[in-house]
Amino acid sequence: MIKASFEDKSAPPFVARVGLESANNTAALSAELPDVHIYQYREQSFSVASDMGRSMNGDVIFANPATGTLHRWLRSGSSHNTLLVTERCDQLCQMCSQPPRKTHLDMFDHLKQACLLAEPCAQIGFSGGEPLLFKHQLFELLETVGEARPDLTFHILTNAQHFDTADVERLRLTVYSRVKWGIPLYSDQAAMHDQIVAKPGAFAQLMSSFALLAHSGQSIELRTVLLRENYSSLPELARMVSNRLPFISTWAIMQMERIGFARNRWADLFVDHSAQTAPLDEAVSIATSRSLDVALFNMPYCTVSPALRPYLHASISDWKNAFSSECKDCTAKSFCAGFFAWHATLADYERAGPIR
């Protein structure tokens, strides 16, 4: 969020692309002063601090004159742009990085406009809360934008609790071939998964949804967060995924983010994979031996065994990436996955340290 000063504070919110020249749906830079940058969007003039204005060129912004704020919804040149559909959710995951709220603000018209202004060939993410609590509005957005912008692809984070057989034919439309569904699965045991997401019956519904999505020809990125509760049984989950879900595109295994619910539950939830490497090593070995694509996120290079290092990826969003001060002289830094910015420390890992 960026603070801004609007000439007309009573004007309605708007979505625009920031640019240097006037054009339709563009907030053009009209003056560049030492302390502020001034922009013109149709009849509306607004200004932001110069240190923020320099970095906005090409961004798609959501501006709210009434609150004096700008949000950089789609950042120019970034491959990690995610739009928040809702803060409501029907699960209450133990380690949720963005705890849900009961309220919902319908932003679909603005989200649609932002997508239409996206850079060529961009991938746009949608998350929540739970986006599919508003399934039909989201489907309509995807279909409208997808028809107008066939160059775009989409990544949707969902708990997959809201698909049903009536969706199959719709999901076979061409636009959904450009969608990847990011779906969490935390255990091969129904009781454990349901406990982690705090929703009885979630595992059973998830298995039904996987079958439906496979039948519809959908691309699925399976997601598993490492927790003290599920870590030792990770090899069993790998076997189940290999046997029952061989159609998934990628299995993303990730360390927990120290934010949201996990901030105050860290001591109870966090598991140090560097101290006990066997479950992770075995799980990856099982999955890759069955030709599953595995990606490891938020695991610093020095914390995993050499066999796992080829599977490491940088933190899921580029704006979250950070390194500890301890990493300053590490020779592996250029290809290390790094840390989430709000938890850039090696202190939690028993076997970690700069590689020289």
The predicted model gives 327-348 an average pLDDT of 82
Six-digit token string for 52: 């923020």
Rounded to whole angstroms, the Cα distance separating 288 from 240 reads 13
Six-digit token string for 104: 């919902």
Rounded to whole angstroms, the Cα distance separating 157 from 149 reads 21
Residue whose pair of structure tokens reads 């961004």 in the numeric block? 59
The predicted model gives 158-170 an average pLDDT of 97
Asked whether 230 and 280 are in contact (CB, 8 A), the reply is: no
CA 80 to chain centre: 8
Q: Above 90 in pLDDT, residue 116?
A: yes
Rounded to whole angstroms, the Cα distance separating 55 from 29 reads 12
Asked whether 63 and 56 are in contact (CB, 8 A), the reply is: no
The predicted model gives 280-291 an average pLDDT of 98
How many alpha carbons fall within 13 Å on the CB side of residue 52?
A: 16
The predicted model gives 79-87 an average pLDDT of 92
Indicate the pLDDT class of residue 340, thresholds 50, 70 and 90: confident
The larger pLDDT score, comparing residue 238 to residue 352, is at 238
Q: Above 80 in pLDDT, residue 209?
A: yes
Q: Above 60 in pLDDT, residue 316?
A: no
The larger pLDDT score, comparing residue 95 to residue 336, is at 95
The predicted model gives 13-33 an average pLDDT of 90
What is the pLDDT, as a whole number, of residue 24? Answer: 83
List residues bridging with 18 in a β-sheet.
27
Rounded to whole angstroms, the Cα distance separating 187 from 284 reads 15
The predicted model gives 348-353 an average pLDDT of 90
Q: Above 90 in pLDDT, residue 339?
A: no
Q: Above 90 in pLDDT, residue 327?
A: no
What is the pLDDT, as a whole number, of residue 317? Answer: 61
Query: CA 203, 206, 211, 216: dihedral to nearest 10 degrees?
Result: 180
Rounded to whole angstroms, the Cα distance separating 222 from 185 reads 7
For the chain, give the mean pLDDT: 93
Indicate the pLDDT class of residue 321, thresholds 50, 70 and 90: confident
Indicate the pLDDT class of residue 54, thresholds 50, 70 and 90: confident
* 153 C-beta neighbours (distance < 10 Å), count: 17
Six-digit token string for 326: 């301890």
How many alpha carbons fall within 13 Å on the CB side of residue 168?
A: 11
Nearest to 181 by CA among 142, 220, 139, 128: 220
Q: Is pTM beyond 0.75 here? A: yes
Indicate the pLDDT class of residue 320, thresholds 50, 70 and 90: low
Q: Above 70 in pLDDT, residue 315?
A: no
